[in-house]
Amino acid sequence: MGDSSDEEFQNSESWVFYRNRDDWKDVEPVEQEDGGEYPVVSISYTPKFKDVYDYLRGVMKIGEKSQRALDLTADAIALNAANYTVWQYRRDILKELKSDLAKELKYIEKVIQRHCKNYQVWHHRRVIVEWLQDSSKELKFTQGILVFDAKNYHAWQHRQWAIKTFGLYEGELEYVDSLLRDDIRNNSAWNQRYFVINNTIGFVDDVVSKEVEYVLEKIETVPLNESAWNYLKGLLLHDKGGLSNNVKVTTFCEDLYMSGNRSPFLLALIVDMCDERISNKAEDDKYNLKRASELCHELATTVDPIRCRYWEYMSTTISKKAGCESGEDAEGGDGPEEAAAAGASHDV
Amino acid sequence: MMANMRPFRDLVANQYDEENNKTHSSKEQIDVEKSVLNMYESAHMKITLNRNLPRLATNAHMDFIRDGLTQLPHSYSCLDASRTWLCYWSLHSMSLLTDISKTWPLNKEESMIVQFLSKCQHPSGGFGGGPGQYPHLATTYAAVNALCIIGTQEAYDIINRKTLKEFLYSVRAPNGAFRMHLDGEIDVRGVYCALSIATLTGIYSEKLFDGTAEWVVSCQTYEGGFSGCPGLEAHGGYTFCAIAVLTILKRPKLCDLHSLLRWLVNKQMKLEGGFQGRTNKLVDGCYSFWLACSVLLAGVALGEKKMLFNQTALQEYIMVCCQYNSGGLLDKPGKRPDLYHTCYTLSGLSLTQTNSDYIGIPFYLGFINPLYNISYEKVEIMKTYFKDTKDETL
Ligand SMILES: [Zn+2]
C-alpha cells in the first residue's frame, strides 16, 4: 500500500527514538487507546511509527506548540502524509510560532512530490499560499507535477483554484494547447480549456465559432476521441441554435458519416440532433424520428453493442416523445428514494 | 447459472483503435487491454475444461477480509487515519459475501468493533479516522455506516447525535457545501457524507442542507458527469456522491439527467467490461460501484427501472480480472488486492445481479440500498430506530 518506502527513505541509521532523546525527557508519550481486548483493524506499526505517534499524542495532549513539536509533525507526516490531524496541528503551530511561510512552502513542495495523490498535502499548500498571499509559484509548481501525471486531479484542482483566486489566466490557453498537442486524448486538458474560456471571455458567439473550428479539426484527426466530442457538445450548449443548427457542425458530421466513419460519438451526436428537433417540433428530412431510430439500432447492434440497452432505451424514449408530448413525465408515484431502492432489489 | 460470457473473438475485435495517433493515453490503454485480454483468454480456456468457471472465490475473499478486520501489516500505515473506513469496507464486504441463509454476523467481534469505533468518536462530535484523531466527514460517514451494518442497539447508542449535529453545522459552508473537517477542503464528498450521516441518524433538517442541491448541481460539467468542485473534470466518484445527494434530497431533476446518463454509460469499457472513472482514463474495479450505481440512480430518476449498463460485461470484468488468487479483489490485473477495492468491486457485482443472468456467483450477494451502499434492511432498521428515539437534547 505504498508509503512504507518513506521510512527507508529517511536515513534509518542515524535515527534516534524520541523515547531515547534527552531533550524529550519532559514529554510523556501517550499510547493509542484502541478500546477492547481484541484487535480491530489493528495496524502492525513499526517501532518507529509507534514512537513518533506516541510523542505526537503526548505533545498534543499538553498543547505544546514549539519548534520541536513542529519538527515532530514532520516526522509523523513522513510516516503517514494522509493524517489530517497532524497537518491541522502543524498549521496551529505555524500560526502560533509565526513561522517562516516561504520555508513551509518549500517543505510542502517536497512532500507533494512524494505524495501527489493525497488530499491533505494539497490542502496544506493551498492554506500556506492563502496565508502568504503569494501565488507566484503555483503555475510552475503544478506544471511540474503534471509533467509526470498530466491528469492528476489534485494538481488540476490546485491550479484552477490559484488561477481563479489570483487571476492567473494569462497564458493558460497556450499551456492547454501544448498539452493537447502532446496528448489529444488528455481529458483534463480539454476540461481546462473549457474552464479558462468560461471564466474569461465566455462562450460568446464568435468564441463558440472559433472553438468549434478548433475542435472539429481535432475530431477529424482522431474521430474516436470521446474527449473532443464531449467538448464539442459542451460548446453547443452555448449555441443559440442548439445542437442541430450550427451549419459547420452539421456539415462536418454529415460528411464524416458519408465518408463511412462510424465513430459511436458521431452517431450519438446525430441522434441528439434528431432528439432536439423532435422536442422542438422542428423535424426535417435530415433530423427526424426515423433517422434517430435507425441510428439507435445501428449503435445497439453493430457500432456500440456494449451499450445496447442504453441505445434501446434512447430509441424508446425518443419515440415516446415523438408520439406524445408528456411521455417523459409519465412516471410512477414512488418517491425517488423508494424507487431507487426498489430498482436495486433482486427479483428473487 | 451457466456462464454466458462474451465470445473471445468479440473481445479481440473490440481492441483499441489508435487511429494512427499514438499518445500517452492510447499507449496506457493498449497495455491494459493486453493484460485484460490475457486474463480473458485463459478464462475461456479454463471454461472449456470446467463449465462451472469462472467462480467467485467466496471463501478466499472472506478470509482476506476477516484478516483485515483484525490485523493488518504495517504497509497499511498510510491508512492509519482511515481506520473507520477499514471497518466499513470489511463489514460491508462480509455482509455481501455472507449468504443470507447463514447467520450473520459475529456477535462478540461485533461488540469489539463498536468499542473501537466509540474510541474514534471525538468529544466535539463526529468520528476521526482512529482513536484521538480530529473528526472528519469521511471517517464519520464510514463509522456510521459500519455501525449501521452491525445494527445492534449497542452500536446505535454510542453515537452522540447532539454533538454529531454540532459537528455537521461546524463544517457547513454558507452556500450549502461542506468542508471535510474544520478548516478542511470543500468538495462533493463532504456533501454526500454529511447527508448520508444526517439521514441515517435522524438529524437531518432542511436548514442544515439549505442551498446544498444547488451547489451540487453547479458541479455538473459540460460532459454530463460531476466534478469535485465547480470547474473541475467530471469524475466517477464525485458523480456518485452528487447523484446520490440529489436523489436523497428528492431533487434529481435539478441536474441534466440525460447528459449525465450519456456520460455514465460511456464510461463502461467496450473490451474490458468494467468502468473507467473519467473520459479517456483506464478501467478500475472500484468504479464498478461508483459508476454502475450512478447509472441505476440516474435511470430511476428518469423513470427507468431497468439497468442501463451492460451487466454481463461488468460481471465478466470483476469475475475474471479483479479476483486475486489468494483472496481479495483489485483494481486491474497486475495490482494487489486491498479492502477498498474488495468492498467496491463486490458492491458493483451485486448491482450486476439485479434482474439479470449471472455467471459463477454461488448466491445473490447482499441486497444493497444504492444511496448508502449498505444492505437495504439495515438502512431501514437504523432509520426507524432513530425516528422512534426522541432525543430531548437534539
Ligand atoms: Zn480503484
CATH number for region B55-388: 1.50.10.20
Question: Is residue A283 situated within a structural domain?
Answer: yes
Q: Locate A47 and state its grid cell.
A: 517501532
B81·A199 Cβ contact <8 A: no
With cut-offs at 50, 70 and 90, classify the pLDDT of residue A344: very low
- What is the full per-residue pLDDT of chain B (394 aa) written as tens digits? 345 789 999 999 999 999 999 999 999 999 999 999 999 999 999 988 888 888 999 999 999 999 999 999 999 999 999 999 999 999 999 999 986 445 555 667 889 999 999 999 999 999 999 999 999 999 999 999 999 999 999 999 999 999 999 999 999 999 999 999 999 999 999 999 999 999 999 999 999 999 999 999 999 999 999 999 999 999 999 999 999 999 999 999 999 999 999 999 999 999 999 999 999 999 999 999 999 999 999 999 999 978 999 999 999 999 999 999 999 999 999 999 999 999 999 999 999 987 665 666 666 676 789 999 999 899 999 999 999 886 656 6
Neighbouring residues of B127: CB distance < 8 A, sequence distance ≥ 6? B84, B117, B120, B121, B135, B136, B139, B140, B142, B143, B144
Average pLDDT over residues A98-103: 98
Looking only at the bridges linking them, the beta strands covering B368-369 and B374-375 are: antiparallel
CA-based angle B334:B227:A271, to the nearest 5? 90
Question: Is residue A207 situated within a structural domain?
Answer: no
Does the CB of B36 have a partner CB in chain A at under 8 Å?
A: no
What residues of A act catalytically? Answer: 117
Report the length, in residues, of chain B. 394
* A121: chain B residues, CB-CB within 8 Å: none
Q: Which of A99, A127, A152 is the last residue of a domain?
A: A99
Residue-level pLDDT at A8 = 47
* A85: chain B residues, CB-CB within 8 Å: 81, 128-129, 132-134
Candidates B312, B302, B313, B374; CA nearest to B343 is: B374
Q: Phi and psi dihedrals of A119, rounded to 5?
A: -65, -40
CA distances from A88 to A81, B124, B302 (A): 12, 16, 43
Q: Where are the beta strands (DSSP E) in chain B?
A: 71-72, 368-369, 374-375
Residue-level pLDDT at A341 = 46
Cα gap B252→B72, rounded to integer Å: 40
Least confident of A33-47, A110-124, B362-376: B362-376
B303·A195 Cβ contact <8 A: no
CB B299 within 8 A of CB B307: yes
Cα gap A57→A113, rounded to integer Å: 27
B341 CA distance to ligand 1 centroid (A)? Answer: 6
B24·A157 Cβ contact <8 A: no
CB A210 within 8 A of CB A220: no
**Helix, strand, coil shares, percent, chain B, to 5:** 55, 5, 40
Does the CB of A111 have a partner CB in chain B at under 8 Å?
A: no
CB A226 within 8 A of CB A218: no
Q: Locate B365 and state its grid cell.
A: 450477494
* B234: chain A residues, CB-CB within 8 Å: 191
Which A positions 24-43 lie with beta carbon below 8 A of chain B? 30, 32-43
Residue type, B391: D
Residue-level pLDDT at B363 = 64
The 8-class DSSP code of residue B268 comes to B
* B282: chain A residues, CB-CB within 8 Å: none
Residue burial A206-239, b: 16+ Cβ < 10 Å; e: rest: eebeebbebbbebbeebbbbbbbbbbbbbbbebb
Mutate to test the interface with B, among A32, A77, A84 (most CBs of B within 10 A): A84
B90 CA distance to ligand 1 centroid (A)? Answer: 16
Average pLDDT over residues A6-34: 84
Grid cell 414512488 in the structure block, residue? A334
Residue-level pLDDT at B306 = 86
The 8-class DSSP code of residue A133 comes to T
B73·A44 Cβ contact <8 A: yes
Question: Is residue A9 situated within a structural domain?
Answer: yes
- Residue in A43, A84, A304 nearest the CB of B136: A84
Cα gap B228→A71, rounded to integer Å: 33
* A225: chain B residues, CB-CB within 8 Å: 280
Q: Give the CA count within 13 Å in the CB-facing half-sphere of B157.
A: 4
Looking only at the bridges linking them, the beta strands covering B71-72 and B368-369 are: unpaired
- Enter the pTM of the model: 0.94
Please classify residue A16 by burial: count the beta carbons closer than 10 Å to its beta carbon, then call 0-12 exposed, 13-18 middle and 19+ buried.
Answer: exposed
CB A66 within 8 A of CB A97: yes
Residue-level pLDDT at A67 = 98
With cut-offs at 50, 70 and 90, classify the pLDDT of residue A193: very high
Mutate to test the interface with B, among A34, A40, A79, A346 (most CBs of B within 10 A): A40
* B184: chain A residues, CB-CB within 8 Å: 84, 88, 123
A91·B183 Cβ contact <8 A: yes
Residue-level pLDDT at A167 = 98
Q: What is the 3-state secondary structure (H, E, C) of A50-116?
A: HHHHHHHHHHHHHCCCCHHHHHHHHHHHHHCCCCHHHHHHHHHHHHHHCCCHHHHHHHHHHHHHHCC
Please give the ipTM for the structure prediction: 0.95
A–B interface: beta-carbon pairs under 8 A? 280
Question: Is residue A8 situated within a structural domain?
Answer: yes
Q: What is the 3-state secondary structure (H, E, C) of B52-68?
A: CCCCCCHHHHHHHHHHH
The residue in chain A having the minimum alpha-carbon distance to the alpha carbon of residue B20 is: A222
The residue in chain B having the minimum alpha-carbon distance to the alpha carbon of residue A308 is: B310
**Residue A338, pLDDT above cutoff 50:** no
Looking only at the bridges linking them, the beta strands covering A42-43 and B71-72 are: parallel
Phi-psi region of B231 (alpha: psi -120 to 50; beta: other; left: phi over 0): left
Q: Is the dihedral of CA B381, B387, B388, B389 positive or negative?
A: positive
Does the CB of A10 have a partner CB in chain B at under 8 Å?
A: no
Which A positions 293-312 lie with beta carbon below 8 A of chain B? 304, 306-310
**Residue A3, pLDDT above cutoff 60:** no
Question: Is residue A6 situated within a structural domain?
Answer: yes
Cα gap A20→A18, rounded to integer Å: 5
Which contacts (CB < 8 Å, 24+ apart) does range A121-128 have? A121/A81, A121/A87, A122/A154, A122/A155, A122/A157, A122/A158, A122/B185, A123/A87, A123/B184, A123/B185, A124/A87, A124/A90, A124/A91, A125/A158, A126/A158, A126/A161, A126/B185, A127/A91, A127/B183, A128/A101, A128/A104
Neighbouring residues of B383: CB distance < 8 A, sequence distance ≥ 6? B199, B200, B202
**Helix, strand, coil shares, percent, chain A, to 5:** 65, 0, 30
Average pLDDT over residues A33-54: 91
Candidates B26, B40, B2; CA nearest to B274 is: B40
- Number of domains within chain A: 2
B231·A309 Cβ contact <8 A: no
Element (H, E) at A235: helix A226-236
Q: Which residue has the higher pLDDT, A105 or A38?
A: A105
- What crossing angle do the helices spanning A308-323 and A289-298 adopt, rounded to 10°? 170
- Residue in A80, A191, A307 nearest the CB of B77: A80
Q: Which residue has the higher pLDDT, A40 or A348?
A: A40
B335 CA distance to ligand 1 centroid (A)? Answer: 10
Least confident of A108-112, A233-237, B5-9, B185-189: B5-9
User: Which residue range(s) make up the domain with A54?
Assistant: 1-99
Which B positions 191-230 lie with beta carbon below 8 A of chain A? 221-224, 228-229
B71 three-state secondary structure = strand
The residue in chain B having the minimum alpha-carbon distance to the alpha carbon of residue A91 is: B183
Question: Is residue A83 situated within a structural domain?
Answer: yes
With cut-offs at 50, 70 and 90, classify the pLDDT of residue A324: low
Which A positions 126-185 lie with beta carbon below 8 A of chain B? 126-127, 150-151, 153, 156-157, 160, 164, 182-185
Residue type, B194: A
**Residue A340, pLDDT above cutoff 50:** no
**Residue A31, pLDDT above cutoff 50:** yes
Question: Is residue A48 situated within a structural domain?
Answer: yes
CA-based angle B370:B376:B381, to the nearest 5? 135
Phi-psi region of A265 (alpha: psi -120 to 50; beta: other; left: phi over 0): alpha
Residue-level pLDDT at A334 = 43
Phi-psi region of A199 (alpha: psi -120 to 50; beta: other; left: phi over 0): alpha
Q: Give the CA count within 13 Å in the CB-facing half-sphere of B309.
A: 35
What residues of B act catalytically? Answer: 235, 278, 281, 284, 286-287, 331, 338, 341
A83·B263 Cβ contact <8 A: no
Neighbouring residues of A14: CB distance < 8 A, sequence distance ≥ 6? none
Q: Is the dihedral of CA A55, A57, A61, A65 positive or negative?
A: positive
User: What residues does each domain of chain B span?
Assistant: 55-388
Question: Is residue A14 situated within a structural domain?
Answer: yes
**Residue A210, pLDDT above cutoff 90:** yes
- Ion ligand 1: residues, Cβ under 5 Å: B 284, 286, 331
- Residue in A32, A38, A119 nearest the CB of B132: A32
Helix, strand counts (H, E) of chain B: 16, 3
B250·A336 Cβ contact <8 A: yes
Least confident of A32-36, A124-128, A249-253, B84-88: A32-36
A331 CA distance to ligand 1 centroid (A)? Answer: 35
B300·A57 Cβ contact <8 A: no
Q: In sequence order, what DSSP letters do the residues of B170-218 get, joined into one string? A: HHB-TTS-BBSSTT--B-HHHHHHHHHHHHHTT---TTTTTTHHHHHHT
Least confident of A36-45, A236-245, B234-243: A36-45
The 8-class DSSP code of residue A333 comes to S
The 8-class DSSP code of residue B362 comes to S
Residue-level pLDDT at B77 = 96
Least confident of A29-38, A70-79, A113-122, B267-276: A29-38
A83·B86 Cβ contact <8 A: no
Which B positions 76-115 lie with beta carbon below 8 A of chain A? 76-83, 86-87, 90, 109, 111-113, 115
Least confident of A158-167, A287-296, A331-340: A331-340
- Residue in B112, B221, B269 nearest the CB of A191: B221
Candidates B150, B143, B54, B377; CA nearest to A344 is: B377
Mutate to test the interface with B, among A1, A8, A32, A41 (most CBs of B within 10 A): A41
Grid cell 488486492 in the structure block, residue? B337
